[in-house]
């Protein structure tokens, strides 16, 4: 009965990273450069892989889809941040906030699943080379890719439904630069203990589970090739090293953010920069610099 006297929140205020005008200009410049690098780098990878028949292996098929996911992932948050930094308008409608939360977790969890599939691809190529063509056939690759998107959708719809069940009656200030589960759930006018544990079990265990699978796959790869480091195996290890860098940059901040109830500790919005901006920005740099095939294909594309 008491909740009937509360007014429903219709918008949230995103405080961003700083209130200082000079820092806001600095953040706008850095975010714009990072977003431009994400768009240009990943679009270049997509164009290179799709136009070069030599890059038709499952690894490059998955890399192309990772680039597409990175573009979608950063586009969920960064354009809104750039507009807010430039105009000073920090309000976001309740519906817009829930939509941003949904697509952030939808694309983000799909990327987690895809990185796990990429690790399985490298494990199969190195540890079971004679069966690699049969296991990672094009049909199997499409099925794994579809499973990544379906898994991401199921995860995200569960998070969003749990969030929509909560009443929001004020305050409406979010201490972050985008809508996400930990800072938003603290604004609910209800006991959120059970919801926090359910969300932590969902997002946190997905992050931790995928990370452990990735670590296990690379441990198996190292155990397989440690006794016979030929030139081909050095090349395989070099590819795995780039994957490990991506995994570390992306998963560890996610585990730190989601594998605990939202009210346990304040969310560090600077940690969020690691998995929302820095990791997608580094993906094209890491993969192109570590892959001679991609660099050669880009050079041929440039000459054409």
SS3 93: strand
As a whole-number percent, the residues of the chain with pLDDT over 90 amount to: 34
- Above 70 in pLDDT, residue 213? yes
- pTM value? 0.88
Q: pLDDT tier at 104 (50, 70, 90 boundaries)?
A: very high
For 220, other C-beta atoms within 10 Å of its C-beta total 14
Q: What is the mean pLDDT of residues 193-217?
A: 88
Q: What is the pLDDT of residue 269?
A: 78
Neighbour-count burial for 146-161, b at 16+ CB within 10 Å, e otherwise: eebbebbbebbeebbe
Per-residue pLDDT tens for 21-54?
A: 778 889 899 999 999 999 998 998 898 888 888 8
Q: What is the mean pLDDT of residues 138-153?
A: 95
DSSP 30-81: HHHHHHHHHHHHHHHHHHHHHH-GGG-SHHHHHHHHHHHHHHHHHHHHHHHH
Question: Smallest Cα–Cα separation from 44: which of 249, 283, 247, 244?
Answer: 283
Pairing state between β 11-14 and 91-93: antiparallel
Angle at which helices 94-127 and 231-258 pack, to 10 degrees?
Answer: 150
284 contacts 274 by C-beta, under 8 angstroms:
no
Greater pLDDT, 8 or 76: 76
> What tokens appear for 58 in the block?
């499952």
> What tokens appear for 281 in the block?
């920005």
Q: pLDDT tier at 150 (50, 70, 90 boundaries)?
A: very high
Q: What is the pLDDT of residue 28?
A: 92
Q: What is the mean pLDDT of residues 271-277?
A: 87
**Dihedral (CA of 156, 162, 165, 169) sign:** negative
Cα–Cα dist 177/12, whole Å = 11
Radius of gyration of the chain (CA): 21
* Cα-based distances in Å from 191 to 74, 168, 183, 259, 263: 32, 12, 15, 19, 11
Q: What is the pLDDT of residue 170?
A: 75
Q: pLDDT tier at 183 (50, 70, 90 boundaries)?
A: confident
Which of the listed ranges 134-138, 190-194, 228-232, 298-302 does the model predict with the highest average pLDDT? 134-138
Q: What is the pLDDT of residue 267?
A: 61
- Above 90 in pLDDT, residue 250? no
Torsion angles phi and psi, residue 238, rounded to 5: -60, -40
């Amino acid at each position: 009965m008491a909740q009937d006297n509360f007014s429903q929140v219709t918008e949230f205020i995103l405080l961003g990273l700083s209130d200082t005008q000079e820092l806001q200009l600095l953040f706008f410049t850095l975010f714009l450069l990072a977003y431009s690098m994400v768009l240009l780098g990943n679009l270049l990878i997509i164009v290179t892989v799709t136009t070069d028949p030599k890059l038709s292996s499952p690894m490059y098929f998955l890399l192309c889809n990772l680039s597409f996911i990175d573009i979608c992932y950063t586009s969920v948050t960064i354009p809104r941040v750039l507009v807010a930094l430039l105009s000073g308008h920090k309000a976001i409608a309740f519906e817009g906030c829930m939509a941003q939360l949904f697509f952030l977790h939808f694309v983000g969890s799909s990327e987690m699943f895809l990185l796990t599939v990429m690790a399985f691809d490298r494990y199969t190529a190195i540890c079971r080379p004679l069966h690699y063509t049969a296991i990672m056939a094009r049909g199997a690759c499409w099925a794994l890719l579809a499973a990544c998107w379906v898994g991401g959708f199921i995860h995200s719809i569960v998070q969003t439904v749990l969030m929509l069940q909560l009443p929001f009656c004020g305050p409406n200030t979010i201490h972050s630069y985008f809508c996400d589960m930990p800072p938003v759930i603290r604004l609910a006018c209800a006991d959120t203990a059970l919801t926090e544990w359910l969300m932590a079990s969902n997002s946190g265990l997905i992050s931790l589970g995928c990370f452990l699978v990735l670590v296990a796959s690379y441990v198996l790869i190292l155990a397989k090739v440690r006794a016979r480091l030929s030139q081909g195996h050095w090349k395989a290890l070099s590819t795995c090293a780039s994957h490990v860098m991506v995994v570390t940059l992306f998963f560890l901040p996610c585990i730190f953010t989601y594998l605990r109830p939202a009210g346990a500790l304040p969310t560090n919005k600077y940690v969020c920069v690691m998995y929302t901006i820095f990791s997608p920005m580094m993906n094209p740099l890491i993969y192109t610099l570590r892959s001679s095939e991609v660099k050669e294909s880009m050079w041929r594309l440039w000459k054409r």
